[in-house]
Structure 1
């Protein structure tokens, strides 16, 4: 984030605090309950958002060396992402060209190539088929034409995006806001390539995939839902919002910001005294904290609008090599995860039950929930339901 932006955001926060106000839009927004409960609506989201958009798949630091790979099936397509010997990133369908078996599961480091566990067809890290056992039994099968099916992938700003549809090339800068470079400047400045993965959590939640992201997009719930965890640390019902195409940056403000009033303006910095929530459309929530970053991704379960898979990845600026460092990060992560597991998720799963009951036809988003409104509008527009 540029220095002038860090200062400007503190100034905006003080103005809202002094006026006992928050960022507001012009009117309320009525979000149809069907967007959280309808199978046809979900099918559109799966086909359009999770098949034709670039999805944030990993940080560069998740794959530091040649042969490092990760797999992911959550978008409804088996994905395999691997770093090659030249340092490049490649993405493929995790599907052997022989009979469709998965080449790998989970994550790890392949030493020399990607070998199918079923019949030992082996591919190099760029996807070329190198070993075809008993090749005489496959007349006419040219290894050069039977490499893994590649998927569009871009590594930039210390992050890796993949589109789960072959041939669907994309420009990630356009997706991140195009001519408005504010979001790109932020991501570039954080130098995520220098971070280190610390921990990961996967959750199966009984809620629509959008509801999980919704919980990060408004601080209107802080005081009632989090009275003893993060509530005392953050201002209730106060946020700053900036939008970048379909994406957004929301700043929720720590009460510690008050100390800056006595400091020279040129020393102000919003980052240590806020939690910066970036919604990277369609399904990633990046939470930039003062000393770490959390990546929350939410995926629908096909045909089940009231369930989702959530993956949280926790990244730290330096490797935790001592016991005291590990204890520090365990305490920090415990607060973040416990707040979500014990407070946010039960609350939002209760919302899903209410929406599925048929009691109401729409959710009513207030003028003080601008990030929530922006996200819901962009989803509806993207799938043709605006």
Structure 2
């Protein structure tokens, strides 16, 4: 982030602190059918999760030739593969013979992709390189049996994928810079393209995919949900937000920011005195914490069930036990707070079918959560 923009954000924050205020928007309601309706869920998968880029793993997890990562995204089996020349390819994880999965879920490394069913063998570029008794398939020439591609790109330390098969003859290129927009410049200025994963994990979440973002796009809950974890670090319900199309940048000042009043603005830095949330529509959250970032993407699995894939990125892997313990402590602190959010989201989901209410309510300081829903509505209409 450019120094001028850091200064502008800090000045906005100090002005709000002086008045005890927060940035506000229009209150809104959210019908509970958004979280329960199977038809609505199917529409979101088709019009959002088949059309927009998602950050699915750190680039550094696929650093070497032959590295691959298999993952299911909203019912679509994907396979990401690093080629010998360093490029990254994205495929549907399905053999073109009889449809068996080439790789089980997770990370692996191989010189070629071999189907476990009948040993059809593909290069890392997805082309069919060999098959037993190839003469028995005159109706399926090898040139027609390359793996189905999906659009894939790398940016900000992550692999981004649009989970949709590319039609034959169409390009699998993904203009990720155009999609990520102006907020990506902030993260690039901090070196995100070179950051590496210290910690990764994934878990099932018994709540609709939208609920975690509702929580993480507002600070109204901080003093209550996080009273025993991070609440004391932050001001009560103080939120600043900027938007670029459907993307959000939320600035959360820490109480230590007051100390900057005594320094010349040329020395102001946001990193030690704030958390900055970057939300890239539709489902990728990156929390910038100065010297590291915590990120997650939420994938829909059913109206009331989702899957969370998460990682912590740092500049370089630790070279001592002391450094390792420092990062472990940071990971534990982040997930200590986030687990509170996810648990409350599961609690909310569990009541939505009760008939207690037709809609949920977003107040004026929860306006970014309301905007997120408005953008989902626009994408599905």
Shift of 1:287: 1.0
SS of the aligned residue for 1:151 comes to: coil
Shift of 1:298: 0.9
Q: Which residue of 1 aligns with 2:368?
A: 371
For residues 333 and 159 of structure 1, what CA distance do their matches in structure 2 show? Answer: 18
Q: Which residue of 2 aligns with 1:381?
A: 378
SS of the aligned residue for 1:215 comes to: helix
Q: Which residue of 2 aligns with 1:224?
A: 224
Q: Which residue of 2 aligns with 1:316?
A: 314
For residues 70 and 187 of structure 1, what CA distance do their matches in structure 2 show? Answer: 24
Shift of 1:109: 4.2
Matched-pair contact (CA < 8 Å) for 1:61–1:193: no
Q: Which residue of 2 aligns with 1:160?
A: 159
Q: Which residue of 2 aligns with 1:35?
A: 34
- Confirm whether residue 136 of structure 1 aligns to residue 140 of structure 2: no
For residues 272 and 62 of structure 1, what CA distance do their matches in structure 2 show? Answer: 28
Q: Which residue of 2 aligns with 1:175?
A: 179
Shift of 1:205: 1.6
For residues 113 and 193 of structure 1, what CA distance do their matches in structure 2 show? Answer: 27
Structure 1 residue runs without a partner (length 5+): none
How many residues align? The count is 376
Shift of 1:140: 4.0
For residues 156 and 348 of structure 2, what CA distance do their matches in structure 1 show? Answer: 36
For residues 133 and 17 of structure 1, what CA distance do their matches in structure 2 show? Answer: 71
* Residues 295-338 of structure 1: CA deviation (Å, up to 9, x unaligned): 1111111xx31221112111121102322222111111111112
Matched-pair contact (CA < 8 Å) for 2:112–2:121: yes
For residues 293 and 330 of structure 2, what CA distance do their matches in structure 1 show? Answer: 11
For residues 142 and 156 of structure 2, what CA distance do their matches in structure 1 show? Answer: 35
For residues 140 and 345 of structure 2, what CA distance do their matches in structure 1 show? Answer: 53
* Residues 135-161 of structure 1: CA deviation (Å, up to 9, x unaligned): 233334322221111111122343322
Matched-pair contact (CA < 8 Å) for 2:271–2:291: no
Q: Which residue of 2 aligns with 1:288?
A: 288
Shift of 1:58: 2.5
- Confirm whether residue 344 of structure 1 aligns to residue 345 of structure 2: no
Matched-pair contact (CA < 8 Å) for 2:240–2:250: yes
For residues 44 and 164 of structure 1, what CA distance do their matches in structure 2 show? Answer: 15
Q: Which residue of 2 aligns with 1:66?
A: 65
Please report the TM-score for the alignment, with normalisation by the length of structure 2. Answer: 0.94
Return the match for 2:329 from 322, 331, 334: 331
Q: Which residue of 2 aligns with 1:117?
A: 116
Q: Which residue of 2 aligns with 1:237?
A: 237
For residues 235 and 224 of structure 1, what CA distance do their matches in structure 2 show? Answer: 12
For residues 215 and 180 of structure 2, what CA distance do their matches in structure 1 show? Answer: 22
Q: Which residue of 1 aligns with 2:252?
A: 252
Shift of 1:191: 2.2
For residues 270 and 210 of structure 1, what CA distance do their matches in structure 2 show? Answer: 29
* Residues 46-103 of structure 1: CA deviation (Å, up to 9, x unaligned): 1111112222223322211211111110322101111111111110001111111111
Structure 1's 74 and 228: CA in aligned 2 closer, same or farther, altered over 3 A?
same
Spell out the pairing of 1:87-98 with structure 2 (5 A cutoff). Answer: 87-98=86-97
Shift of 1:176: 2.6
Shift of 1:378: 0.3
SS of the aligned residue for 1:17 comes to: helix
Instruction: Give the stretch that moved more between structures: 36-45 or 87-96.
Output: 36-45
For residues 84 and 320 of structure 1, what CA distance do their matches in structure 2 show? Answer: 27
Matched-pair contact (CA < 8 Å) for 1:59–1:192: no
Q: Which residue of 2 aligns with 1:187?
A: 187
RMSD between aligned alpha carbons? 1.7
